[in-house]
Structure 1
Amino acid sequence: MLVLLLVSGVLYLGWDRFRAFEAEHPEYFPWTPLSLGDPVGAFTDDKLAALADDAPHCRSLLAKARTGDRPAPPRRLSEPACGYEDGIEIGSAEGTRLAYGRLVTSCPVAAALALWERETLQPAAQKHFGERVVAIDHFGSFSCRRLYGRDEGPFSEHATADAVDIAGFRMESGATIPIVRDWPGDGREARFLREVRDGACDLFRTVLSPDYNEAHADHFHFDMAAGRPAGWSMCR
């Protein structure tokens, strides 16, 4: 498939024009390096997921983007399925981040959130309300537990800080947009929430919302589940 894409592009544009187009639009190609300054493209989520295998590179991308994030100390527990080595304390220093309070996620989640804030969240806030989001309300990231808190079965992506649960948004004006209150209906708050949910689907491996089930009635679940094939995602 990649070879066919390359050959088709070269035949259509010619080699020099193809290389110029590739340099101008790296988001269109799966083989170009990820930069958090680039627009979101069809392969951005795959590139973000691949950062799970290269924590130093992931941290360097956040540093270049001047997000204000800092590496967090590793977290190791007696339960081998829980903990992380690539934690990032989001917005812990002066930078471009929104306020999250104290939140540590895995590095790929932090990188995906940075793109989501810039490419989806803030444009949607300006579109629907004419103002910026200034803070994110959330239910945290790391939690050493199995899916849905069960006693048996697979561990949640929260067990390795590869997921974050977003509960709502705070605006410049002081207004709040909690998901549990504003998801129902078709008002501008509901339209805003659906737009920011849909934009997250281009960046995260899994995006779950109140449309998925009752357990997600009050939040969005975003995760960068490791070990899934390129191109795989779930958006509900």
Structure 2
Amino acid sequence: MDEVILSIRELKKNYGAKSVLNGVSFDVKRGEIIGYIGPNGAGKSTTVKIMLGIEDDYHGEVKIFGDDISDGKMEYKRKIGYVPEIAELYDNLTGYEYLTFIGELYGLELDLAEYKSKHLMELFGIGEVYHSRISSYSKGMRQKLLIISSLLHNPELLFFDEPINGLDANSVMIFKEIMSQLAAQGKTIFYSSHIMDVVEKISSRIILLHDGKIAADGTFDELKENNTEGSLELIFNQLTGFSEHKDIGSRFVSIVREM
């Protein structure tokens, strides 16, 4: 039987009078790459923040590695890696200082953290800024640093929120290969993005959230079978009821052309 790494039952979350999650339930098994998608405000980031222990005051059950996270224990976080959509980095630190600091936070010896950080930055094409301050990094360099920091401690469960923002095409290819090989080795990946073609290609399973509920859950082929549209982007539009993109695009361009 496949090991369930993550289990959510009837997850509900309100912000004041606004309901964000309305009874979300799913299981994630070891080695799956979950593409977690939905329109802005659908509840994707809220779900992830609850699983990470950043958000509380929710209803329902969240189990990670078989343990209910509501018990307040922190041990499960040592086996998790996270790349947020927006992250604050310590600009006055160098890449070396930042990564060894993160590594030691997760219990790595300094020598191992230094070895890993140096070689991973070199492999990701940013070895030349290893001893440069992060304030001098480009957006792509910062994103690579975040990805490396999330993997430094060899986590079992990874949460990626728009992880390829700012990456060039070659780096995206490297990142996709990293994810594929991690999943093949039994790592579990929870991937949230608005870039539908990437989600379509890398995900072993896709969960679509709409209005705080699951609107679809399955492989890309299963989603295609159950919907009339072909690409994930078009399936997304169909399931979320958005079909005005062509009209809005035409009206937008017509205004741009006015003299």
Q: Same fold (TM over 0.5)?
A: no
With a CA cutoff of 8 Å and minimum separation of 6, indicate the structure with the bigger relative contact order: 2
TM-score range, shorter chain: under 0.3
Q: Which has the higher strand share?
A: 2
TM-score, length-scaled by structure 2: 0.24
TM-score, length-scaled by structure 1: 0.26
Larger radius of gyration: 2
